Every structure is written in C-alpha cells, then in structure tokens.
C-alpha cells in the first residue's frame, strides 16, 4: 500500500470515528472507540487496533455491523473487520482474544472516570419547546448558592440530548469552581466500579469516594434495573447525599415509574425532586440543531439540505447528527460541494429504509386495541369508548406524522380542524395528569412504529 493510500485510509477511519461518535454518543464512544486506531484498510479488509480483550469483545459483539455500514456509506465497500489487541504497539493474535478469558480491569480513578466533551455546554444547547423545561432545570441546579431543588431527573428517548445536559452541568461546575467535588459517570461504570471494589475488599473506599461529593451526576440509570444488590448500594449512596443536601442529577431513557424491575424505594427517591422530560425535537428545533452542528464546517451546508435531513431523520437528534456528518464526510473525501442532490444520493439507502407512519397505520393500531370498527371512527358516534379512540387517533397522528390539523380532522370522521385541535388537547392533558394513561399512550406509539 503506497503512502497516498495509507493517508486516504487514515482519513476514512477518522471520518468513520466521527460518524460512530454521532451514532452511539460521546459516552459509549469514549468507552469503546477512543483508544482504537487504524492498522490497515486494504482489499476490503479493515484491521483495527484495540487496547485490550474487553474492548475487542465489546466491539465485536455490539458494533461490528455499525462499523461495516458506516464504512460502506463512505466508500461503497462492505469490509471484513479484524480487531487486533495490541500490547505496547504490538498486535496479539486474534484467536487468543476470542478463546482467552476477559479480565475485569481496574476502573479509572474518580478524576478520570470519564472524558468530558468540552463542546457540550449549557450555553450551546439548542433550546426549543421539546426541551425548554429540562434546560431551565439544568441551569438552576448548576448555579452557585441556594437552588430551588437538589434532585433532578431528566428522561427522554435515545438521542434527544440528555447526556449533553448532564455534561453541560458538569462543565459549568468545573468552569465556575475548582473546589467543587463533582462526579459524572454512566450507571454502568458506577456498577462496574462497585463490583470491582466489592471483590477487592475496597468497599469502604468506594463508599467514601461517592458519598462525599458535592454533586453526583449519573447517566443511563435505567441500567440499574433488575440488579437488586446494585440498587441497594445505589439507594444508600443517594440517601447519604440527599441527607447532606448535596445535588443529584440523573438521566434515563424512561420515567422512573416505567423502569422495569426497579425497587419501589429507589423509584420514590428518583421522583423526590424535579422531573423533566425531553421530547423529540420539532422541525424548527431540528433545523437549529443542525445549523449549530454545521456552524464551524469549512463547507457551506445549504438550508434545503438541512431541511431534508430534518424531515427524513427526525426520530432523534443523534440520527440527524449522524446524517449530516455522513454528508459532510462524503463531501470532504470526494472534494465536492454539498447540495441537495449529494445529500439525497448519500443518504438514500438510510432514509428509504425508514418506515413512514401513515394515518391508516395509526387507525389500525387504535381500532385493534379498543375493539371498535373503522366505520365507527369515521362516524358521528359520540359514545365514550369510540370518542376516546377517535381522539387518541388524532393525538397520535399529530405526534407521529407531519399531517396538519385540517388533514387529521378530515381523515378521522371528516371533522373540522378545530375539532382535531380540541381532541389533541384533551388527550395531551390526560397524558400529563395520569401516569397510567401516559404509559398506555406510549405503548400505542411503540405499536404504531412497528407497523
């Protein structure tokens, strides 16, 4: 392989790492990919150096298909992948890593328990209706002096910006004062360190470390579900910090009430303070996020490209960021300008595989669940069961599609747009006042997405 080919391969791997970070998030990227490097990329074979067997097994088990797809999106080549464990720059044979045992390595110290992304600041967090409350709560709990609440629980689906807020709080605290003792880590890391300390007879040191901090930030706390012994230790850590009026911030994919196999005592602690949900961003917020993402790009990204990505990849912030990163990487590698044609061609395989939910899909899920007829939904029947089913149809249509109030009203019974607005408002109010009803609606949403 000549020098120019090596350089090009290195660029490809660098761009791939950028896409991986956008796809999996900064936390998972730092855990599994930060210390990897390209060994070679030749004849459709990609060799990646990894620091140990643990990382090798994790990437092989969870991320190989992702790497293949991203490399293919950049080069049109679907490579075979070799993960080589390296010791002081020398590769170990791959079969040793497969058949050998994976040792539990000593976790990093508190000061190095995670690698902060300095770009994730509260000041550059794009605020919209979907996240305004969560952002305001993050600003409140990170300010000096007395605060309105000491415990904050942020929840929302994958890739909507929860980690950005937690790291933003961390970065603001470290910026304001070097004397503040603050810990940020994913719940998985905390769990691993607890198990290591328990096995090594260092439990008291572990407890002292985490029960004496000024602010405790834990991401992905849903990881604690089904782990009763771990939950018990976590509960005691929470109680100690809470009793000392320390600040505690958690993030999760789900509301505490909807986290399976979580002890009731821990659920009640999670719900003892401020709870803020982050919704999926709307079209305008999505555009702002993409503009922020491309602000420092050397290549100009036209608005129609950003609008295209906002429309086709609006299921999560991470999905949009991955799409725009793919387009920019492709343009840089091929030294071409970014336009709508390039974006469409580059991303066509990805967005064509995304299922567009239709009003008919939504109607099918609701009538099946409520055991009503399709003709009932379209009729003027105002009986309680049918009226509720019709209102839920309209609400789901507004949440899951781009349909206007007029289009929704017309489809579901030839109603006026004001009727659709009223129905959606009624369901939204009930959704916000009843945990049980909200769980029911979220289940219908999942069912509609599977259609």
The mean-pLDDT minimum among 357-371, 412-426, 430-444 falls in 430-444
Q: What is the pLDDT of residue 351?
A: 62
For the entire predicted model, the pTM comes to 0.57
The answer to whether the beta carbons of residues 357 and 376 sit under 8 Å apart is no
For residue 344, what are the CA distances in angstroms to 68, 104, 268, 292, 349? Answer: 21, 45, 48, 21, 9
pLDDT of 5 higher than 60: no
pLDDT of 20 higher than 80: yes
pLDDT digits (tens, 9 = 90+) for 260-316: 678 889 999 999 889 999 887 877 888 888 888 888 777 788 889 998 888 777 767
For residue 410, what are the CA distances in angstroms to 357, 379, 400, 417, 420? Answer: 17, 12, 17, 8, 9
Q: In 10 A of CB 128, how many CB atoms?
A: 17
Transcribe 355-377 into DSSP letters.
PPP-HHHHHHHHHHHHT--HHHH
pLDDT of 100 higher than 70: no
Instruction: Give the tokens for residue 345.
Output: 């061609």
Burial 48-65 (b: 16+ CB within 10 A, else e): bbbebbbbbbbbeeebee
pLDDT of 138 higher than 90: yes
pLDDT digits (tens, 9 = 90+) for 376-396: 888 888 888 899 999 999 999
Q: What is the pLDDT of residue 152?
A: 95
pLDDT of 373 higher than 50: yes
35/45 Cα distance (integer angstroms): 20
For residue 238, what are the CA distances in angstroms to 136, 180, 235, 269? Answer: 23, 18, 5, 8
Q: What is the pLDDT of residue 107?
A: 35
Q: What is the pLDDT of residue 88?
A: 44
Q: What is the pLDDT of residue 217?
A: 93
The answer to whether the beta carbons of residues 113 and 196 sit under 8 Å apart is no
Q: Which CATH number fits domain 359-449: 1.10.1750.10, 3.20.20.140, 3.40.50.300, 3.20.80.10?
A: 1.10.1750.10
pLDDT of 97 higher than 50: no
pLDDT of 106 higher than 50: no
Task: Report the helix count and the strand count for the chain, using DSSP H and E.
Answer: 21, 9
The mean-pLDDT minimum among 85-89, 233-237, 290-294, 298-302 falls in 85-89
Q: What is the pLDDT of residue 73?
A: 80
How long is the chain?
Answer: 451
Architecture of domain 3-99: 2-Layer Sandwich (3.30)
**Yes or no: is domain 283-352 CATH 3.20.20.80?**
no
pLDDT of 251 higher than 90: yes
Q: What is the pLDDT of residue 117?
A: 60
* Mean pLDDT confidence for 24-33: 77
Average pLDDT of the chain is 81
55/428 Cα distance (integer angstroms): 44
267/258 Cα distance (integer angstroms): 9
pLDDT of 164 higher than 50: yes
Please give the CATH number for the structural domain made up of 110-277.
Answer: 3.40.50.300
Instruction: Give the tokens for residue 371.
Output: 């055991």
**Cα dihedral 197→199→204→210 (10° resolution):** 30
User: ∠39-41-45 over CA atoms, to 5°?
Assistant: 110
Q: What is the pLDDT of residue 141?
A: 92
Q: Which of the four pLDDT bands, split at 50, 70 and 90, describes residue 253? A: confident
Domain boundaries, the chain: 3-99, 110-277, 283-352, 359-449
């Amino acid at each position: 392989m000549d020098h120019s080919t090596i350089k090009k391969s290195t660029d490809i791997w660098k761009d791939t790492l950028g896409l991986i970070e956008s796809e999996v998030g900064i936390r998972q990227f730092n855990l599994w990919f930060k210390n990897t490097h390209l060994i070679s990329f030749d004849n459709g074979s990609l060799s990646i150096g990894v620091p140990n067997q643990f990382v090798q097994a994790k990437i092989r088990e969870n991320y190989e298909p992702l790497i293949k797809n991203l490399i293919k999106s950049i080069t049109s080549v679907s490579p075979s992948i070799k993960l080589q464990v390296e010791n002081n720059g020398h590769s170990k044979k791959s079969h040793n890593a497969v058949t050998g045992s994976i040792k539990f390595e000593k976790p990093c110290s508190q000061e190095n328990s995670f690698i902060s992304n300095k770009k994730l600041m509260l000041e550059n967090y794009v605020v919209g209706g979907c996240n305004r409350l969560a952002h305001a709560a993050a600003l409140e709990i990170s300010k000096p002096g007395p605060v309105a609440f000491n415990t904050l629980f942020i929840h929302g689906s994958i890739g909507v910006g929860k980690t950005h807020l937690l790291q933003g709080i961390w970065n603001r605290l470290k910026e304001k004062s070097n004397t503040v003792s603050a810990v940020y880590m994913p719940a998985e890391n905390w769990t691993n360190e607890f198990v290591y300390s328990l096995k090594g007879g260092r439990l008291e040191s572990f407890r002292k470390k985490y029960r004496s901090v000024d602010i405790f930030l834990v991401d992905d706390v849903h990881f604690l579900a089904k782990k009763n012994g771990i939950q018990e230790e976590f509960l005691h850590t929470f109680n100690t910090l809470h009793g000392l009026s320390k600040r505690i911030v958690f993030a999760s994919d789900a509301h505490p009430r909807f986290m399976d196999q979580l002890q009731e005592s821990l659920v009640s602690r999670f719900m003892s303070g401020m709870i803020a949900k982050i919704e999926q961003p709307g079209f305008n917020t999505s555009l702002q996020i993409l503009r922020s993402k491309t602000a420092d790009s050397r290549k100009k990204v036209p608005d129609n490209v950003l609008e295209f990505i906002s429309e086709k990849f609006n299921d999560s912030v991470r999905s949009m960021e991955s799409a725009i990163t793919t387009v920019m990487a492709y343009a840089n590698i091929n030294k071409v300008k970014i336009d709508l044609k390039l974006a469409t061609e580059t991303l066509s395989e990805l967005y064509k595989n995304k299922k567009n939910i239709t009003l008919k899909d939504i109607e099918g899920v609701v009538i099946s669940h409520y055991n009503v007829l399709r003709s009932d939904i379209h009729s003027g029947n105002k009986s309680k069961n049918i009226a509720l089913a019709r209102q839920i149809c309209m609400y789901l249509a507004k949440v899951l599609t781009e349909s206007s109030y007029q289009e929704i009203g017309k489809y579901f019974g030839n109603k006026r747009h004001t009727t659709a607005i009223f129905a959606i408002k009624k369901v939204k109010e009930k959704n916000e006042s009843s945990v049980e009803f909200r769980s029911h609606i979220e289940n219908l949403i999942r069912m509609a997405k599977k259609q």
